[in-house]
Amino acid sequence: MKLTGLVLIVVLLVGIGAGPLRAELRIRMGTKFTITEVARLGSVTALCEDGAGCLYVLDGKNRRVTKFAVDGKVLLTFGRRGQGPGDFHDPGGVFVNDAGEVVVDDAIGFVTVFNASGQYLRQIKMEKGIGLQYINDDVFYAWTWSANSDREQALFNRAGDPLQVFYRERFDQGAISLPDETGRRVRFNNIIEEYIPRFLFARSTKFFAVGIADRYQILLFDQRLQARGEARREAMPYPVTAAEKRAFSRRIDENRNWPDRVKKAFKERMPLEKKLFDSILLTDTHLWAVRLPADTTVESAPVPVDLFDLSGKFLGTVSLPSTPVCVSPGHLYFQAEDEDGGFILTRFPYRF
């Protein structure tokens, strides 16, 4: 399906000397293409593009990867439920490394490597770490529990030894602890993702980036673990609007697992601001820091995305029509649902 191409003109601020200079950054988004066969999948857990423009979509629900040609046709499918060679247990990511191999991250325990034809090559097991993501055959990103029960994001070697620790997230971040009928305190975790800071991670064939969603300091590294720079801005998070407060309250009320006193406590302690970032995306040339819209209740609200080069230099902010789920050097991908609850995956070519 083809629709009219789109041109986005973005006004950005670039600091020069003591004052900002207004300039224009023009990003051209070409003809929209809908990958219709994605609707047949059970889920779209993660996706990535290889150097030839083929798309790999991880269906975590059915434990398999589907490879699509540039024209959207299915080329092959591989993977199955299990923990043996070539199997997936709880897959969370898919990635094409600089050798052209397809790597599937399993959340706990191992990654599995295939060639571009879907043939099993090897499985790499890990001793520790949750949310495992491959960087190379010897280094992995994951989070783990610290000595005081906080979550911390780190790099690990194959033996599970920590190589570098980055940000920490308090174990009770966004949670509420209240006594039950016996006086024993019970913790209830928040469900409003818009203001709960989460760890951020993105990778390309040559680089990776880490951060946390409530701090504007994204660290950039190459595959040899050498620091490349930091993406920083003096940007403030958007406040929670009146419409968002009402929407968040409704979502809290709809949680059938919470007693009324828990719902009341969450509403009373609702933060005044949202987190800074929804996600980060990475290519071998640019970091895309995807922020939350000014008002998340507005269906057509533009999504601001801050662009940086890989030294951390801020290049500008572009407003996209929705939140991108994947970016390659030549394509932007967006995901939505149709009226029947099926998946819609669209692709736009773009250039600066």
Q: Are 281 and 209 in contact (CB under 8 A)?
A: no
> What mean pLDDT comes out for the span 133-143?
95
Q: 100 is written with which tokens?
A: 């052209």
Report the candidate in 63, 46, 38, 35 with the shortest Cα–Cα distance to residue 343: 38
Q: Are 179 and 186 in contact (CB under 8 A)?
A: yes
Q: What is the pLDDT of residue 18?
A: 30
Q: 351 is written with which tokens?
A: 């250039």
Q: What is the pLDDT of residue 14?
A: 39
| Integer angstrom CA distances of residue 262 from 1, 186, 272 | 47, 10, 19
Residue 136 is which amino acid?
N
- State pLDDT tens for residues 13-58: 333 333 333 344 678 899 999 998 988 899 999 999 999 999 999 9
Residue 338 is which amino acid?
D
Q: How confident is the model at residue 190 (pLDDT cuts 50, 70, 90)?
A: confident
Mean pLDDT of all residues belonging to the chain: 89
Q: What is the pLDDT of residue 25?
A: 61
- State pLDDT tens for residues 259-269: 999 999 999 99
- pTM of the complete model: 0.90
Q: 286 is written with which tokens?
A: 């640019």
Of the chain, the percentage scoring pLDDT greater than 70 comes to 93
Burial class (CB in 10 A: 0-12, 13-18, 19+), 254: exposed
Of the chain, the percentage scoring pLDDT greater than 90 comes to 70
Beta strands in 207-282 (DSSP E): 207-212, 217-222, 227-232, 277-282
Q: Are 331 and 346 in contact (CB under 8 A)?
A: no
- State pLDDT tens for residues 291-349: 999 999 998 899 999 999 999 999 999 999 999 999 999 999 999 887 777 789 999 99
Q: What is the pLDDT of residue 3?
A: 36
Q: Strand 55-59 and strand 64-68: pairing?
A: antiparallel
* Domain range list for the chain: 189-307
Q: Are 212 and 200 in contact (CB under 8 A)?
A: yes
